[in-house]
Amino acid sequence: MIISLVRTTKYSFQNFWRNLWLSIITVFILMLTLFAVSMVASLNLLADQAIQAIEDKIDIDIFFKDTATEDDIISAQIYLEEIAEVKQVRYVSKDEALASFRESHEDDSDITEALDELSDNPLPASLVVQAEALTDYAFIVQQFETSEYDALVEDKDFSDHQVVINRLSGLLTRVYQGGLAVSAVFVVISIIMMFNTIRVGIYSHREELAIMKLVGATNLFIRGPFVLEGILYAMVASVCAMALLWVVVISSAPYVNDFFQGYNFSLDFFFYSNLWFIFAIQFLFSLVLAVGSSMISIGRYLKV
């Protein structure tokens, strides 16, 4: 059993090296297929993170008139918190607003000098409202405007970020669909290449295979090298695809991490944390393509 396995493995390596250029092209196409599929999956992940990042930044700022007392604002806060669609309401007093404004403009001497000359705090108290879902903001605004507290409000700052989200989602969906189409093309090309590579191997060894059959070799022993050859293609292509993906991740990580600055996401950390899982998925996917194509070619052209 062990001797047969060793011989089968030896023959599979011989098949790989005898048709070296064809093997290289097959591995290259399979590697591009794995890389394309990996990039589509990565794009889907980054799209989800980008949309989540935008959604986390969205809120409603409700600015109150100077005539509104702190008790009135607290009552409005309680009213908003009782709305099921509201996730969080934060009260920002006039003093907190002024301190935050000073901190954000501490490098602008003209603004700080102008604030120092004012006897009263010009900034209003406000409530910062976050919804459970992006689609809930319109309902929250409508509910608040029908309440008694709307008369205390000076202004509301709420942009329709849904338009931005929809445009971003639409763009990413089109890119994602394009990536899937490219991946599908590479998958088809990989299957054809593997099919033809094994067929060439069978044709070039037809006399040897006939002699092996005459001396009593089993069908499993004859077919085995071609199946192992497919596994070898899958292994080499997976390693090369991981190396290429690593280069892309390392090169793009600084830019992606800057985009998600302030959020709990790091592209390189995610890659290293899931390195073996990504490799396993790539290898299994390539194994299905390679071995599946090999079995089809063997079944059609290897009559043993």
User: Count of domains in the chain?
Assistant: 2
130 near 87, Cβ under 8 Å? yes
- Bridge partners of residue 20, in order along the sequence: none
Same domain assignment for residues 221 and 245: yes
CA separation for the pair 98, 126 (Å, rounded): 12
Q: Are residues 200 and 74 in the same domain?
A: no
Same domain for 84 and 128, yes or no, is: yes
Q: Which of 130, 159, 188 is the last residue before a domain boundary? A: 159
- pLDDT of 6 reads 60
Dihedral over alpha carbons 273, 277, 283, 285 (to 10 degrees): -120
Domain carrying residue 105: 59-159
Is the domain of 35 the same as that of 140?
A: no
Is the pTM higher than 0.75? The answer reads no
* 171 and 267 housed in the same domain: yes
Residue where one domain finishes, among candidates 98, 127, 159 = 159
- For position 68, what pLDDT does the model report? 86
Give the whole-angstrom CA distance, residue 188 versus residue 199.
Answer: 17
* C-alpha to C-alpha distance for 58 and 134, rounded to whole angstroms: 8
In the chain, which stretches have pLDDT less than 50?
none
Q: What is the pLDDT of residue 104?
A: 75
Q: State the pLDDT at residue 10.
A: 63
Please compute Rg for the chain using Cα positions. Answer: 32
Question: Looking at the structure, do residues 75 and 144 belong to the same domain, yes or no?
Answer: yes
CB-neighbour burial class of residue 208 (10 A; exposed 0-12, middle 13-18, buried 19+): exposed
**Is the same domain home to 172 and 285?**
yes
**What's the confidence (pLDDT) of residue 75?**
92
The answer to whether 296 and 195 are in contact (CB under 8 A) is yes
Which pLDDT value is given to residue 301? 55
Point out the domain boundary residue: 159, 177, 204. Answer: 159
* Same domain for 117 and 179: no
If asked whether residues 100 and 128 sit together in one domain, one would say yes
Do residues 182 and 243 share a domain?
Answer: yes
Q: Rounded to the nearest 5 degrees, what angle is found at the Cα of 14, between the Cα atoms of 12 and 15?
A: 65
Task: Tell me the sheet residues that pair with 156.
Answer: 62
Indicate whether 170 and 293 sit together in one domain: yes
Same domain, 45 and 174: yes
CA 201 to CA 208: how far, in whole Å?
A: 11
